[in-house]
Amino acid sequence: MTALPTLPAAPDAPAAQDAPARRSHGGRVEPVHYLFLVPTLVVFTAFVVVPALIGIFYSLTDYVGFGEWSFLGVRNYAALFSDPRILESYGFTLGFALVTVVVAQVVALALAVALTRRIRFATTLRTVFVIPMVVAGIVVAYVFNFLFSNSLPALATAVGFGPLEESILGNPDLAWLSIVIVSAWQTIPGALLVYTAGLTSVPNELYEASALDGASPWRQFRSITLPLVAGFVLINTILGVKGYLGVYDVIVGLTGGGPGTATSSVAMTIFGGFTGGDYAYQMANATVFLLVTALISVAQIVATRGRAVRL
Amino acid sequence: MTTVETPLRRRRGLHRTNRLLTVLLALATLTVLAPLYVTVSMAFKTSEQSADGNAFSLPAPLNPASFAEAWQLTRFPVAFGVSVGVAALAVLLTLLLSSLAAYAIARNWAHRFFRWSMIYLLVALFLPFPVVALPQIQLTALTGLDNPVGVGILHAMFQLSFSVLLYTAYLRSIPIELEESARIDGASTPQIFWRIVLPLLGPMNATVGIFAFLASWNDFMMPSLITSDPALQTLPVVQNIFQSQFGTDYNVAFASYLMAMAPTIVVYLLAQRWVISGVTQGAVKH
């Protein structure tokens, strides 16, 4: 599972509540509390932060993964911006993330709204919709690979629909669609559960009162449902986009980045640096990728700040 | 509810079940069920039938032999064992490290060191694995961790931010008085953590554990890049043999996919109420 679907209250929430009373140095810290925290900080630093710093360091050199190296300054970075292969991978990855997050969120919200209405077998239906969450993306991609390359063309030929008679996986203009479909298929359940949780917290009286006032279902959705689940939309979108930007497993299982380099994500290009001899260059790419991911996350938080309504 | 409201509601259909919507949703489940059906039916076909291109036909005759072949080709018991080991290590490390860290942070929020530690750990929430992959491949090789143990540790590391976040939010809802009364009775802080706090964290342990398990069990990227010995690969990674050598034996490939997918699906269906409430817990914890 690449995209984790949930996130609790804002990380700075504890500060907001405790802040006025005891901001800086309230009380004595029991030494054993350091013992609880410091080992985690140490392994986290060793396994995540140090590799990140090493990578950023080498991005300023001509290191090839082994042997000697010398400083290049920002030449790797300058080269990135005129490398069509790199620009293409960013174009593909950003476009893919944008399309997939919209598709997945719209479908998940629609399903959640439908599942929280008065329908029969609601629990059973929800159980089925959540299944994709528990299976490995790579295996799902292999299954869909077969469907896209064998069953879909067979079906299209049978009904005489020309454009789909050839596998879409081999079509440079359509292959990306297969990745959107499988990624959305896999990540909709997580978003669906978050929305369902959000929707069940909306009291029914609100809908009943607005129905009495003559509000149409669409008006109810726009004026009641949407503002109340806005916070959940934010959570889903941030974590969804982060997951989609790092897309890898699904592409490996569907297209391997092809045809040509039509569906090569940034992650795939970076991993190529380990075998391709351009280690330092791909570390510069990875550093830019980190900045892009962080910027997009921050932009999302800023853009949606204060839009959510709480009852 | 007043008597005036009731007929109004009924007229607007607010109290009736929506049949059309039920039917539409049932149809929509086909998007989930059809690929699963294809996986099962393909797995039971003969090689000849599996090559005819009709994925949706029923297997005729029923051929269960593909499972034995897939079992051997993927060395299923080994791959399954490695997957179990990696996921168990990832889940245990995640639960232990993040609950201890979150407890220390939540109880010492007034101290700058603990607040900043939280922010430090949260950095990884926005750090995609590909960014640090190349140095990590080198470092794990250098330290002898280019194996399932290293993969388990890395899975736990990328789960930390999210889990600490969940735990700290939850810890704030646990009254500190319980701990204080235990302290008056002479319990030490580690004792309080093990005997009082950890049991109280029960629901959140389940949530954190489910997320850590699913992320680790289903991952392809990290084991395929970090583990250098192909004989020690996890269940999702070994499925790649069907992409090359055995390209046409779709029945064997699908038998293997089914064996890779079935464990989590079966566990989920048996414990779905529990899994869904666990996952949802992570969403509504304000």
Contact B25 A271 (CB under 8 A): no
Is residue A294 domain-resident? Answer: yes
pLDDT at B6 over 60: no
Is residue A28 domain-resident? Answer: no
Q: Which of B115, B131, B153 sits opposite A15 (nearest CB)?
A: B115
Output the pTM of the full model: 0.88
Domains of chain B: 78-251 (1.10.3720.10)
Q: Which of B126, B188, B189 sits opposite A297 (nearest CB)?
A: B126
Burial category of A68 from C-beta neighbours within 10 Å (exposed 0-12, middle 13-18, buried 19 and up)? exposed
Is residue A72 domain-resident? Answer: no
Q: Report the Cα–Cα distance between both ends of chain A, in Å, rounded.
A: 32
Contact A193 B280 (CB under 8 A): yes
* Percentages (nearest 5) of helix, strand, coil residues in chain A: 70, 0, 30
Range of the domain at A193: 83-304
* Global ipTM: 0.89
Q: For residue A71, list its beta bridge partners.
A: A61
How large is the average pLDDT for residues B170-185?
A: 86
* Residue given tokens 């080992």 in the structure block: A39
Identify the residue among A124, A142, A219, A239 best suited for mutation to test binding to B, counting B beta carbons within 10 A and taking the highest.
A142
pLDDT at A187: 94
- Cis check: omega of the bond before B61, within 30 degrees of 0: yes
CA distance to partner chain A, nearest, from residue B279 (Å): 8
- Residue-wise pLDDT for B189-220, tens only, equals 899 999 889 888 888 898 899 999 999 999 99
Q: Cα–Cα distance between B82 and B69 in angstroms, integer?
A: 20
Is residue A52 domain-resident? Answer: no
- Residue-wise pLDDT for A117-149, tens only, equals 888 898 899 999 999 999 999 999 999 999 998
Which residues from A are below 8 Å from B241, CB to CB?
Answer: none
Q: How many residues are present in chain A?
A: 311
pLDDT at A3: 37
Contact B283 A274 (CB under 8 A): no
For chain A, percent of residues with pLDDT exceeding 70: 88
How large is the average pLDDT for residues B263-283?
A: 85
Q: Which of A11, A119, A133 sits opposite B165 (nearest CB)?
A: A11
Q: How confident is the model at residue A86 (pLDDT cuts 50, 70, 90)?
A: very high
Is residue A60 domain-resident? Answer: no
CATH of the domain at A275: 1.10.3720.10
Contact B35 A147 (CB under 8 A): yes
Q: Comparing B100-114, B176-190, B215-229, which segment has the lowest mean pLDDT?
A: B176-190
> pLDDT: is A178 or B126 the higher one?
A178
> pLDDT: is A278 or A273 the higher one?
A278
Q: How many domains does one find in chain A?
A: 1
Q: Cα–Cα distance between B227 and B223 in angstroms, integer?
A: 5
B256 → chain A, closest CA residue: A139
Is residue A12 domain-resident? Answer: no
Backbone angles phi, psi at A71, to 5 degrees: -75, 140
Is residue A196 domain-resident? Answer: yes
For chain A, percent of residues with pLDDT exceeding 90: 45
Contact A51 B139 (CB under 8 A): yes
Q: How confident is the model at residue B131 (pLDDT cuts 50, 70, 90)?
A: confident
Q: Cα–Cα distance between B39 and B258 in angstroms, integer?
A: 6
pLDDT at A201 over 80: no
A58 → chain B, closest CA residue: B135
Q: Which of A196, A212, A270 sits opposite B133 (nearest CB)?
A: A270
CA distance to partner chain B, nearest, from residue A170 (Å): 16
pLDDT at A26 over 60: no
* Residue given tokens 């239906």 in the structure block: A125
Identify the residue among A36, A57, A150, A212 best suited for mutation to test binding to B, counting B beta carbons within 10 A and taking the highest.
A36
Is residue A192 domain-resident? Answer: yes
Contact B257 A139 (CB under 8 A): yes
Q: Cα–Cα distance between B122 and A23 in angstroms, integer?
A: 20
Average per-residue pLDDT for chain B? 87
